[in-house]
Structure 1
Amino acid sequence: MSWRIAICGALWGCLAAGSILCGDEYFFLKKNGTEVQVRGRVIVEAEDGGALIEDRAGRLWAAESDQIVKREKDQVPFARLDADKMAEAVLDQLPDGFDVHKTAHYLICYNTSPAYARWCGGLFERLYRAFNNFWDRQGMTLSEPAGLLVAIIFSDERTYREYAVVELGESVHSIVGYYNLMTNRVVMYDLTGAQKIRQAKDRVRQSVEINRVLSRPEAASLVATIIHEATHQIAFNCGMQTRLADVPIWVSEGIAMYFETPDLKSSRGWRGLGAVNRTRLKRFHSPNRSRPADSIRVLLSDDRWIQGRAEDPRFQGREAVLDAYAEAWCLAYYLIKHHPDEFVKYMQLLAEKRPLQQDTAEQRVADFERFFGTLPGLEQKFLRQMSRVR
């Protein structure tokens, strides 16, 4: 997720938060020497004239004042594109050969087999239902997305990389799928073609064959990544989190990891929800890891640890990032299991955070302690409970 948060950091720098607005306008923007017309609403207007704009396809555009050539009011109220117009808009931005599969909540654009598109649609819908049902039982009411959630599926890893390198850069070689905060889309490729899991005898034209291939142990991390990114997309479109708001990364990542274990044996349920994440737990308890006593405070107050940009030497490097993800999963798991009511209230507070309004480290800690008590007291209970998890 670090590449997405890097975008946030850049935007906080160029769009000092001003007023939060809502209206429908035509914007003529100069981007990379080309004039682009955007119809949408202003989400944030900076004091210097810059703006954060959401277009009718759900994409966010960050424009500094000198990039806005002209803007015109539109009398038609803002609304997301309907399914047909959304499909047309997305297909216009993709190479030739893509088709569309629609479900109740998803628009899937693909150039792989229709069977794989349907399989993904079914998987995403099951995740969507499980996510909403879980939080409803917890007492947190979520909203319907403003429009269909878009997923783009490439037929193979090569064409996926050719497309995604523009957004991911060199990270594309290590990422099998991602959710882009700015475009609001999940992008991935057909995992049944991944060299890591593909066998010569595989035929993946039907859902049962897809399940068979992707249920192999060597495919688990790949499928979990797709579910992880799809969970981010749901959370940012159902009122739980607001794109570009200052929600601590550990919260977003902890929740995504809580949901990322799929149940490919069932066509309806999601028995993996809330299961112990063995990889993260093993990392957390690793005897080779020296866990600093102030780990929770650092995780709460400073996203740079989980981003891999920490200035404190104790939290630097790739291994430290893996430690941060383990800490995030453990903390989310502990709070959801042992402090569910307080966690929902904390999530409701975070849901009120507005785009591009950055909290101080002290405010982040205060928000947390408001519901869970002081960090030293919580730390003892947290470590004691996690030592019992197997």
Structure 2
Amino acid sequence: MGDPFRGLVPFVHYFSARGFRPQRLQLPLVAVVFANQRDFLRYASRTGAKLLPGTLGYYSPMTNRILLYDLTAGRGEDERNWQVNAKTIIHEAAHQSAFNTGVHSRYAMPPRWVAEGLGTMFEARGVWDSRNHPSQHDRVNKYRMLAFKRYTASRRQKGALPPFVSSDRGFYSDADGAYAEAWALTFFLVETRPRQYMQYLQRTASLPNFSVYRSPERLQDFTEIFGSDFELLESHYVRFMNELN
């Protein structure tokens, strides 16, 4: 058997370059690809997975596996759906990698925005292939950026950050907006405050096993690292996002 860590080189490089040294894998990582959506949803239902509408794949901390289905249904010529397949694989592989290298803990879940922000960030080619795509422009997830701009133009409320970082509720009431916000906030913090962001990841990864991470503790941990002036932080954040293209 080869080195199971070798396939994680881009992931490891990304975090190591920013001062976070991921742990080595102990076992190979497993992905299960279903032939079609029907079989995928049937398996998810049978195992009790609670999926949001439109879910194309997910990482299961319980089984430590990625589960997804082939959107092309075996038709290799379906280029658009194959690109969606590829992004889904990268997104879920980022989750699996994070939960197996100490970036997240499988035994004390991080805030949903932290996990999904990281997964959506890795969808961009400049993140998972920075050697060949080194510019910030390459690191921007164009799809998520446009989704965030639509979200801010239509329904995002001023002062949205405190409830967002302290609760997962947005992912159930407005999944599109929550995923867009998770990417945007993560990208902003990584690009402008990388040392603090890595410190925050270490904080969320070191929660006591099987503990419940309640809203007051989430908010306290966030403000201890990024500061309590949410109005100032949000002004920097929104301006940063508005300047992306």
2:223: which partner in 1? Answer: 369
- Tell me if 1:251 matches 2:106: no
1:73: which partner in 2? Answer: none
Cα distance in structure 2, aligned partners of 1:172 and 1:297:
23
Cα distance in structure 2, aligned partners of 1:356 and 1:295:
28
Deviations 1:208-264 (A, max 9, x none): xxxxx57x344333321121111111100101111141411101000111102358x
Distance change (3 Å), C-alpha of 1:180 and 1:334: same
- Tell me if 1:349 matches 2:203: yes
Distance change (3 Å), C-alpha of 1:294 and 1:159: same
- Tell me if 1:339 matches 2:204: no
Question: How far 1:348 moved relative to its partner?
Answer: 1.2
Tell me, what secondary structure is at the counterpart of 1:193?
A: coil
- Tell me if 1:150 matches 2:27: no
Q: TM-score, normalised by structure 2?
A: 0.84
Question: How far 1:299 moved relative to its partner?
Answer: 1.1
Higher RCO (CA < 8 A, seq sep 6+): 2
8 Å CA contact retained: 2:125, 2:139: no
Q: TM-score, normalised by structure 1?
A: 0.55
Cα distance in structure 2, aligned partners of 1:275 and 1:242:
25
1:285: which partner in 2? Answer: 149
Distance change (3 Å), C-alpha of 1:281 and 1:356: same
For 1:332, the aligned partner's letter is T
Question: How far 1:360 moved relative to its partner?
Answer: 3.0
Tell me, what secondary structure is at the counterpart of 2:68?
A: strand
- Tell me if 1:384 matches 2:219: no
- Tell me if 1:301 matches 2:166: yes
Task: Give matches, 1:96-245, under 5 Å.
Answer: 104-105=3-4, 125=7, 128-167=8-47, 171=51, 174-193=54-73, 198=75, 202=76, 213=77, 216-245=79-108
RMSD: 2.9
8 Å CA contact retained: 2:70, 2:85: no
Between structures 1 and 2, the one with greater strand share: 1
Between structures 1 and 2, the one with greater helix share: 2
Deviations 1:128-182 (A, max 9, x none): 2111001000010111122121122344555444444413669598433221111
8 Å CA contact retained: 1:130, 1:270: no
Distance change (3 Å), C-alpha of 1:270 and 1:244: farther
Gaps of 5+ in 1: 1-101, 107-123, 203-212, 309-315
